[in-house]
């Protein structure tokens, strides 16, 4: 399937790469200083609400174990650090995959050079898109989706669902909300249909050196699979509305 290089009407509202790992020392206590010194250009370090919670509570609650404790503002990106994970997220507007990837690689390289991690558990790439349904309602359904409950077929009703699709080494966790309102980091409010695709690859506690082999290609692969799934979710009318451009 031929994928568009870019959508002129960019629907993307969030993009984040996350790496989860095991570590003897909480990453949130050492990584901010290491990254602040190692990465070029200006940076700002900010504590996040989870930092107010005792570490024992964060360790005991599975919902908090990967909650970011510290955030670094760096160029067009946020670096989110928890006790057991690091994530690189994009500021909006999205700078494009090439710039995003070129921000992820040096961050992960710094981790490897400083022996922060004992082993890698998983990595993931998540994109959240919002389609402005009010501008497309006359064109019918926004996505390639049909559902029924008993004799009732879902048509114009408000709905929300989540599904996990296994594919080779990935699990794609997809959430779709038919009518949602979001406030972006710049304060902008948007309404429409949300398509949230989190592509996850479990690596079974690999050593960093093994994980890092071909990391550049791993990033391109997971990005391709995530993007392909998103495009497949759209109807031809929705894709046309977003004004795709091809190489």
- Is 138 within the bounds of a domain? yes
Give me the DSSP letters along 33-76. HHHHHHS-S-EEEEE-GGGGS-HHHHHH-TTTTT---EEEEETT
Taken in order 88, 8, 156, 228, the sign of the CA dihedral is negative
> The domain containing residue 122 runs over which residues?
6-245
Rounded CA separation 49/111 (Å) = 24
- Is 58 within the bounds of a domain? yes
Summarised one tens digit per residue, pLDDT across range 8-57 is 999 999 999 999 999 888 899 999 999 999 999 999 999 999 988 888 88
- Is 1 within the bounds of a domain? no
pLDDT of 146: 82
How many domains does the chain divide into?
Answer: 1
- Is 128 within the bounds of a domain? yes
Summarised one tens digit per residue, pLDDT across range 176-231 is 998 888 777 667 788 889 999 999 999 988 999 999 999 999 999 999 999 999 99
Sheet containing strand 119-131, edge to edge, reads 43-47, 70-74, 77-81, 85-90, 12-22, 119-131, 189-206, 170-183, 160-167
Binned at pLDDT 50, 70 and 90, residue 138 comes out as very low
Please report where in the chains the tokens 């997809």 appear, as a residue.
174
Binned at pLDDT 50, 70 and 90, residue 139 comes out as very low
Per-residue pLDDT for 102 more than 70?
yes
Alpha-carbon distance values, 225 to 99, 100, 124, 201, 213 (Å): 18, 16, 12, 11, 20
Q: Please state the rounded mean pLDDT for residues 70-81.
A: 96
The better pLDDT of the pair 149, 138 is held by 149
- Is 96 within the bounds of a domain? yes
């Amino acid at each position: 399937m031929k994928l568009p290089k870019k959508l002129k009407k960019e629907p993307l509202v969030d993009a984040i790469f996350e790496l989860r790992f095991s570590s003897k020392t909480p990453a949130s206590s050492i990584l901010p200083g290491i990254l602040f010194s190692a990465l070029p250009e200006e940076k700002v370090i900010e504590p996040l609400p989870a930092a107010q919670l005792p570490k024992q509570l964060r360790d005991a609650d599975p919902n908090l174990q990967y909650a970011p404790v510290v955030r670094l503002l760096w160029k067009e990106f946020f670096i989110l650090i928890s006790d057991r994970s690091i994530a690189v997220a994009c500021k909006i507007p999205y700078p494009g995959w090439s710039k995003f990837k070129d921000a992820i690689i040096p961050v992960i390289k710094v981790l490897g050079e400083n022996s922060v991690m004992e082993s890698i558990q998983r990595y993931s790439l998540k994109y959240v898109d919002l389609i402005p349904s009010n501008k497309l309602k006359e064109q019918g359904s926004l996505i390639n989706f049909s559902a029924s409950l008993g004799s009732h077929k879902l048509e114009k009703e408000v709905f929300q669902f989540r599904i996990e699709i296994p594919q080779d080494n990935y699990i794609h966790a997809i959430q779709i909300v038919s009518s949602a309102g979001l406030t972006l980091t710049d304060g902008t409010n948007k309404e429409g249909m949300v398509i949230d695709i989190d592509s996850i690859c479990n690596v079974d506690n690999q050593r960093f050196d093994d994980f890092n082999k071909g990391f550049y290609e791993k990033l391109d692969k997971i990005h391709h699979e995530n993007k392909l799934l998103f495009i497949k979710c759209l109807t031809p009318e929705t894709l046309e509305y977003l004004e795709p451009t091809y190489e």
